[in-house]
Structure 1
Amino acid sequence: MKIKVIIACGLALLFCQNALSTTLKMAFDADPISLDPHEQLSESTLQFSHIVFDPLLRWGKDSQFEARLATHWQRIDGQTMRFFLRKQVSFSSGNPFTADDVVYTIERLKRSPDFRAMFDTIASATAIDTHTLDVKTTYNNPLLLNMMTYVFPLDKTFYQHQDQIIKYGDTFASRNVSGTGPFILTNRKLGSRMEFDRNPNYWDTDSAGNVEHIVLTPIHADSTRLAALLSGDVDFISPVSPIDVERAKKVAGIQLVTMPGTRILLMHMNQERRKEFQDVRVRKAINLAINKPLIVDKILKGYATPAGQLSPDRFLGHINGLEPEYNLEKARLLMQEAGYEEGFRISMMAPNNRYMNDEKVAQAIAAMLARINITVDLKTLPKAQYFKEFDRRSADMMMLGWQSDTVDSNNLFEFIIACEDTNTGLGAYNAGAYCRPSIDDDIRQSNREMNPERRLRLLQRIEKTLYDDAAIVPLYWQSLVWAAKDNIHIKDILNDQNFPYLGDLSIDAK
């Protein structure tokens, strides 16, 4: 009898150790402000969506589309794509997943203030049968499949009749969640902790993922986040500050993964708030006075690429030769020509825990502008507070980072450059009040141009116009840096959009 008890205890201990070995403790710089996947178009929201929801399709490592809740698709005509959905999938509520849920989700995306611009070109989504639907666009759209990577089907039965979308509001959707994803949210304390358990009914039984439990702790301070990894309190962190990279490299048992990113960091100059910014000479002077290569070298330690335009080199709109220019004397001359040799005072706002060393970058920009007699009153805020102020356009200059949602230049243009239009969602993140109707025309044409050569010319024309107008201050494309214990296979689930596919993450027992 004693032997049986010993064996039973041993098995229980083994199972307990296995369970512990598949717990992932993560520390990211921020957690999502809401559980509603359509409330804010942000990196943390999309990271959360990949944990508890599933997209129709997603980007694979080979930059090709990978089927998820849609098993395959076919073009019916120039404006219609048919999607065939995975069967025998259920939401965490227990409700079955059907085409009606996808139709409901697309219709909701079309009325989301943040996502509306992307989905405005979808004329209709219609269920053909329980697991088939047609998505029809208002015109031929070369980016329809790109857009579908942002369709994380919602549980219609769970959400309908209580699905209002209110940014920073207290709604049913901001507090409750039912998805089809690899994990189920089990505990949340906003700003301090989120916990997830593996979905026992998850459809993807072929996944190599063996993580059974996730604990996500937002740690805003870079040094504190790294210290938590080095002490063993957490297993996986993002991001790693450039000044901490060398320190992390020297620690046994820790792996670093870096890759070039396509997120552009920029400064908006609000032309409605400041008449000085309506003068192209002033805007050019500001661009010329900011030493972007120096910021990348000294503050970011080389973990970024200085930018002279919005489009990174992998995007269709990129123009070779549009490099950042630093010329202080030319900047001073332009200020003199514009009648502002004595300068003026402006307000500037930036986050202090959203982008890599964002507060230090903002401080450096303020110091550089002082050299052309622009005095900057700088205020930095935590991410949650900052973006409320960004939406209110609360300062003369404001920092923004943007990852193209469609892996395409036009997404940059339609959200942060287009004339602001609350009906279509265009210009939703244009905090500079820059507006050129001819650019909006090119944006619309680019969204329907199926010929790659003609589309290339349209996108590059927009980019060149923005450069000539000094419409914004492009700063740099931020590199991505992650760190984890060396028994965690993070390389398999990371990508340059920084949406880790945690459902596929495997951890080796130690």
Structure 2
Amino acid sequence: MLRLRRAAALLMALPLLAAPVGRAAWAEDLNIGLAAPVTSIDPHYANAAPNSSFARHIFDPLVVRAPDGRPTAHLATEWKAVSDTVWEFKLRPGVKWHDGQDFTAEDVVFSYGRAPNVPNSPASFGGSLRTVTKVEAVEPLMLRITTSAPTPNLPIDLAAIAIVSRHAGEGASTADYNSGKAAIGTGAYKLVRYVSGSVIEVARNDAYWGEKQPWEKVNFRIIPNPGARSAALLSGDVDLIAAPPATDLPRLRADSNIRIFERQGSRALFLSPDFSRTGASPFITDNDGRPLPRNPLLDLRVRQALSLAINRQGLAERVQQGAAEATGQWMPPGAFGYNPDVGVPPHDVAKARALLAEAGYPQGFRITLHASNDRYPADAQTAQAVAQMWSRIGVNTSVEAMPFATYLTRLAKQEYSIVQNSWGSTTGEAGSVLLNIVHSFDAPKRLGASNDTRYNNPALDAKIEEALSTMDPAERERRVAAAVAESVRNLALIPMVLFKNAWAARKPLTYEPRMDEQTLAMGVRRE
């Protein structure tokens, strides 16, 4: 039985820790510069890190991840597995919605029914609820969840799902959340204003059940340009920025008014080839511009050639300026499911050319690599560097970089031939990518929810499902690591680098750096 009484007690004690904060601090505003846009206030609209990070201010999940990635009690105070397929969650008493109504288990039932079914969602949360077959409000503060198979990671999976109020959410659209009409949460802050791609304003929820927040108002500014973000911090226009550009870190470190906070992250940058088409792929042609009759990316030798052409160490050191590490998988050493036998692929131009010739493309071909230009550190620059590396082996590559909101919408429609993509593990283990991106897309089963390039491998699917249903932790990790190795051998995706997370703040502010890269006003304090 898994119980978190100790963690729950700690959470209940946190308000006492806030007592020494001076009165002046409680009246101050906080200004934060975000690196990536929040595309919606609807916490179920898109399973994207910027959206989920901001949602934490307005809405609470049952379980949260601590800065080190460990699951911690939140709206649920404790839970237990009644059997391999039945879980019970005790919910926190005395929690109020922003409009004063009581939080109950019925709100959780509603939220778990809504999350996988939001219309026009470009990235579904269905994977986190993939095995859930029934959610019952046994009592006002007791929840029972039945799954179709053993799901040992269920409490961790539920950390991804924000709980919304049933009374405000029934019949509400994503637009109603964006306007504030339905944005009624239990979180530490209330929504004041949302201007897509520009600013978000929130005000402190003085009736919040948890730790009292020192900031009366928090203003989030979307500043995708790295240099502009640093300039805003140095000028005092903002108090804290996410993802300070690596090129500016030496200057920021040297400034006596600035502090840097860092932590190894669990987000990998990788390439996702188009597996959805056996015939012509829309952005692949021969060297004369004629569409190729067959999608060359379906040939493992071609994918191997593209992988070998990439100088990952060069990307990490020169393009990412040391703010990332070269990798051959998607989790850092020590993470659950990390496979020590999967190394960083070598940079081997000669072998890459030989593989292309063996696959029937001795003269190469043309391809367009699509990427975002405002979501990840140096995302457009990394794509351009990869394009140059591929061109050296005869795969003449152009890059189309665009705002993340546009990129994500088109990605969900399988419009690309190959994309630069990324995933940050919300569960802190390797199974997150296996479940959401590597597993074949299966909407009814809520599997492969973010497998937008439609990789399909039924044999690997079976191994992933078996691994994630294994209750014994040691055996589960062994099976997850084996599935990681097989995925890498097949190049379902092409891993490149792992990001390091960083924030910069003006003194005397501090920020508790997080493995999950979330930028939370709740983590900012005055020293």
TM-score (norm: length of structure 2): 0.88
Change over 3 Å in CA distance of 1:188–1:349 after alignment to 2: same
Aligned length: 483
The runs of 5 or more residues in structure 2 that have no matched partner are 1-22, 282-293
- Aligned-pair CA distance for 1:175: 3.1
- Contact 1:268 1:430 (C-alpha < 8 Å) held by counterparts: no
**1:427, distance to aligned residue in structure 2 (A):** 2.4
Question: Deviation of residue 131 (structure 1)?
Answer: 1.1
Q: Does 1:30 align with 2:36?
A: yes
Give distance in 2, aligned partners of 1:194 and 1:210.
18
Q: Which moved more, 1:17-26 or 1:426-435?
A: 17-26
User: Aligned residue for 2:340?
Assistant: 320
What is the Cα deviation at residue 277 of structure 1? 0.8
Whether 1:507 aligns to 2:507 is: no
Distance 2:115 2:428 in 1: 19
Which range moved further: 110-119 or 413-422? 110-119
- 1:333 paired with 2:354, answer yes
* 1:499 CA displacement: 2.1
Aligned with residue 483 of structure 1, among 493, 504, 517? 504
Letter in 1 for 2:149: Y
> CA 1:443–1:203 in structure 2 vs 1: closer, same or farther (change >3 Å)?
same
Partner Cα separation in structure 2 for residue 340 and residue 283 of structure 1: 12
TM superposition shift of 1:19: 6.5
Distance in 2, matches of 1:159 and 1:503, equals 25
| Aligned partners of 2:199 and 2:219 also within 8 Å | yes
1:175 aligns to what? 179
CA distance in 1, matches of 2:477, 2:396: 40
Q: Which moved more, 1:58-67 or 1:214-223?
A: 58-67
Structure 2 residue aligned with 1:8:
none
**Which SS does the other structure have where 1:32 is aligned?**
coil
- 2:126 equivalent to 1:107: no
Shift of the alpha carbon at 1:504? Answer: 5.0
What aligned pairs does 1:366-445 form with structure 2 within 5 A after superposition? 366-445=387-466
Residues 341-360 of structure 1: pairs in structure 2 closer than 5 A: 341-360=362-381
Measure how far apart 1:63 and its partner are: 4.4
How far did residue 38 of structure 1 move? Answer: 0.5
Of 123, 127, 133 in structure 1, the residue corresponding to residue 143 of structure 2 is 133
Tell me if 1:291 matches 2:311: yes
- Residue pair 1:36, 1:175 contacting (<8 A) in 2 also: no
* Match among 38, 42, 50 for residue 44 of structure 1: 50
- Judged with a 3 Å threshold, the aligned counterparts in structure 2 of structure 1 residues 431 and 123 are, in CA distance, closer, same or farther, namely closer
Q: 1:261 — aligned with what? A: 265
2:163 match: 153
1:209, 1:506 within 8 Å by CA — same for their partners in 2? no
Letter in 2 for 1:161: G
Q: What secondary structure is seen at the aligned counterpart in 2 of 1:506?
A: strand
CA contact (8 A) 1:95 1:155 kept: no
CA contact (8 A) 2:88 2:144 kept: yes
Which of 285, 289, 301 matches 2:321? 301
Counterpart CA distance in 2 for 1:328 and 1:142 is 43
Instruction: Classify 1:219/1:61 alpha carbon distance in 2 versus 1 (closer, same or farther; 3 Å).
Output: closer
Aligned residue in 1 for 2:244: 240
Structure 1 unmatched ranges of 5 or more: 1-16, 164-169
CA RMSD of aligned residues (A): 1.9
Evaluate the alpha carbon distance shift between residue 84 and residue 255 of structure 1 in structure 2; reply closer, same or farther with a 3 A threshold: same
Moved more, 467-476 or 355-364: 467-476
Q: Does the CA contact (< 8 Å) of 2:69 and 2:516 recur in 1? A: no
The 1:336–1:504 alpha-carbon spacing in structure 2 relative to 1, beyond 3 Å, is: closer
Aligned to 1:10: none
d(CA) in 2 for partners of 1:433, 1:79? 29
Say whether the 8 Å CA contact 1:210–1:504 is kept in structure 2. no
- 1:278 matched to 2:298? The reply is yes
- Residue 20 of structure 1: CA displacement? 8.4
Q: How does 1:180-259 map to 2 (within 5 A)?
A: 180-204=186-210, 207=211, 209-259=213-263
TM-aligned CA distance change 1:193 to 1:500, over 3 Å: closer
% identity of equivalent residues: 27
